[in-house]
Structure 1
C-alpha cells in the first residue's frame, strides 16, 4: 500500500508548537495549497490542509517559519478519532509531515512582507534565530551555524563543479516571471 503526500503551499498562520507529557514536540499548522486547475468561473480554488509534524522537525518549523512562509512538506495522510465532551466520536483527517523544506530565502520572505503581499509576523521567533542555512544533502533544511542574520544557501558537493556559465545562468531572473514584483492586495490572499 502507498500513503505518500507531497504538498507545497503557504502557512495560513504561525505554527502552534506544543509538547506532550513525554516532552515530545508537536506542531500543528495549516497549508494553503492552490489547485492546479480552474473552476467553472475561471478561478483557482485553494485547499486548506491541516498538518502535524513531530520532534525536532516541529521545533525547527516553529522557529524558522511564520504565517505566509512558502514551504514544501512530505508525509502521509492519517485519520484519527476521539470522543469529544458531548460523548460524540469525532474523526480528524490530517497530513502527518515527516519533513519540510523552506522554499524561499529569508530575504524573499522579508521582501514580500515589505511589499504587503502577506501579513506574516516577522517579529516573533523568525527573526530571533540568526542562523545560516546550508544544503548539505540532508532531507530537510536545518540551522547549521551562527551568521549574523545572513540567510544564504551554500552549494555543496558536485554542485560547485558546475561550469561558470551554468552558475551565471542560474542567477539570472527567469524571463517567464518578469523579474518585477507583482502587485497583490491582501484581500486576494487566502490567509
Structure 2
C-alpha cells in the first residue's frame, strides 16, 4: 500500500509553531494549490490544504517560511476524525516528511535568511540561487487568493 502526496503551492499565512506536552515541536500551515484545469470563467480553482510538520522540520519551517512563500511538500495524507455534539468531523491534512523552499524571501533580508537556513534551503538548491528548473515550472500569473 502507498500513501504519498506531493504538492507545490504558496502559504496562505505565516506558519504556526507550537509544542506538544512532551516538548515536541509541531508546525501547521495551509497551502494554496492551483488545480491543473480552468473553470467556465477561465480561472483556475484553488484548493487550501492543511499541512503539519514535526520536530526539526517544524522548527525550520516556522523560522524560514512566511505568507506567500512557494514550497514543495512531500508527505502522506492523514484523516483525523473528531466527534462533537453528536456530529462526526473529518479533517484531512498532509503530514510533511520533506519541505523544499522554491523561492527566496522577497524582503530585503534574503542574504540573512540564506545564511541562517543551513540545511533547509542552501543544501537543496546550491549556495547562490534557486534552480532554473523550479523557476521555469512556475506560473507567473498565479495569485495567492487572500
| TM-score past 0.5 threshold | yes
Structure 1 stretches of 4+ with a deviation exceeding 6 A read none
Question: Cα offset for 1:94?
Answer: 0.8
Question: Runs of 5+ in structure 2 lacking a partner?
Answer: none
**CA deviation after TM superposition for structure 1 residue 9, in Å:** 0.5
1:161 aligns to what? none
Equivalent residue number for residue 73 of structure 2? 73
Provide the rounded CA distance (Å) in 2 between the counterparts of 1:142 and 1:36.
27
Cα deviation code 1:24-47 (max 9, x no counterpart): 111111000111111122111111
Structure with the bigger percentage of strand: 2
The corresponding residue for 2:127 is 154
Query: What's the TM-score once normalised by structure 1's chain length?
Result: 0.61
Q: Is the 1:52–1:94 contact (alpha carbons within 8 Å) kept by the matching residues of 2?
A: yes
Within 5 Å, which residues of 2 pair with 1:22-37?
22-37=22-37
Is contact 1:31-1:48 (8 Å) kept? yes
The residue matched to 1:110 in structure 2 has which SS? coil
**Aligned counterpart, 2:94:** 95
SS in 1 for 2:107: helix
Contact 1:28 1:52 in 2 (8 A): yes
- 1:133 and 1:153 in contact (8 A); partners too: no
1:64 pairs with 2:37: no
Whether the 8 Å CA contact 1:79–1:92 is kept in 2: the answer is: yes
- C-alpha displacement of 1:7: 0.5
Pairing partner for 1:141 from 120, 123, 130: 120
1:110 aligns with 107
State how many pairs are aligned.
138
